[in-house]
Structure 1
Amino acid sequence: QSVVARRSAKVMAILAHFCIALAMVLIGHIHFGNTQMGVGAATLYLLLPYTAQMTGRVDHALPGALLAWAVLFYRRPIFSGVFIGLAAGTIYYPLFLLPLWASFYWQRGILRFLAGVAGSIALMALSLLLISESGEQYWLLVRKMFGLMLPVMENMEGIWGLGWDAWYRLPFLAAFVCASIGFAFWPPQKNLGTLLSCTAGLMVMVQFWHGYGGGVFMAWYLPPLLMTIFRPNLEDRVAAVVLGENWFSRRFARTSNGPTRRAA
């Protein structure tokens, strides 16, 4: 790689880490009602040696930043969907968060959330046309984007480089898929605390079957994990309470009620 490419990657990674810290502070201020909680969580994240060791790795920091901002905008389902979709476009693992997040918005906001996810993923897929020289290459890039391939069993990195047998990926992968689907049904009543903890849990589970650096992509799960530790009681932060009605619902309600008449 050229010097310009390396420096650009390092700048992008630093900005992504900054966005992670900023999102944590804003989550503490806006959603927790305590700025000190957000500052404490962000400071603890930045103090970890990981943020210095992986300074130039955009694939570490950027998905974590997008997931953190998805949590920050959880009261705006379409924006959360956009950030989740963008994160899934950079690494396909956040696609497994969709059952959890969709069930959170099921009572209110599900269509807006899915519209944001679909729009951002479609945009990411179309952007591959700019770097594809043929239809075959484009299809190959799309497959890589969405993980449409068999699990790799050779030349793996991370914890697999320590001597772990590659076949252990398969039961971990099966358990991960079951957990991802299971979070759509359990717990039945989901709040912001549930969203944070389950998102962190799923991204931690990714590390046990991620072939290219499994166990070392801490930025994917540390922000929601730290916010879970620092969070106050969030049992009342459910979608049906914190989300407003969308434009179509308000328009339909006005049409059903009919025009109001002034009293004579």
Structure 2
Amino acid sequence: MNPYQIKNTNSREKNAGFTLVEMSVVLVVIGLIIGAVSIGKDLQRNAVYQQISSNFVQSWSQAYQNYFNKTGIVIGDSSSAPTLKVDGANATPGEICTTGLHGFMDAAGISMPAGRSEGSEHAFVYLDSNGNPQETTVCFQNVAWSIPSATGTYVARTRNVMVIKNLTPDLARFLDSQVDGKTDARFGSFRESTKAASTTTASEDWTIDNRRAFGDATNTNLDESQIAVVTGYFLMNN
């Protein structure tokens, strides 16, 4: 074998594949890229959740308060015989949502949050943790709400709340922690709708988490699934 053939053979052997060190470096770089993408998605989602909390939920709470300050009654109450209940002008008070809510605000000259768009100020579109679109909406209603009694137990009384629908579990927990400083579906000013009137003395977690797929009763969430949603109640000052 001549020298040229020996050199050619060695060259092919050197270029035959990666060494273990090179493979390790490649795997580390891939891991860092995947981790950075995941962290980036989490940061972006948290930024959107913060926007929902500050520019949507809290802004609607302020709009509700502005309505009370300007008119002297809560939304939908009777001006001649106030009941201090949302939709109190009706014999059977219900939710005030969408066009009805806009009508009251417009009639009183109260500015509404930007929301999804003009005419849809009550709605906010966001992406769940699987990247699927969700739309949360706000209404106002007088509902049963548990409060402490003189005997150290809890009793249900009616209170005015903002009803926030179509919250993914992680968004509901985020808003709960923003309002109350901790996550608790049973106590505080932000509660899960199904637990707001509960008179139990024990703290409770939100019913579901992001493992639950929309329309399913078990934790069968897949990567392409739309996340299941819950409804939250946010207690109003008046």
TM-score, structure 2 normalization:
0.24
Higher share of residues assigned helix: 1
Higher share of residues assigned strand: 2
TM-score, structure 1 normalization:
0.22
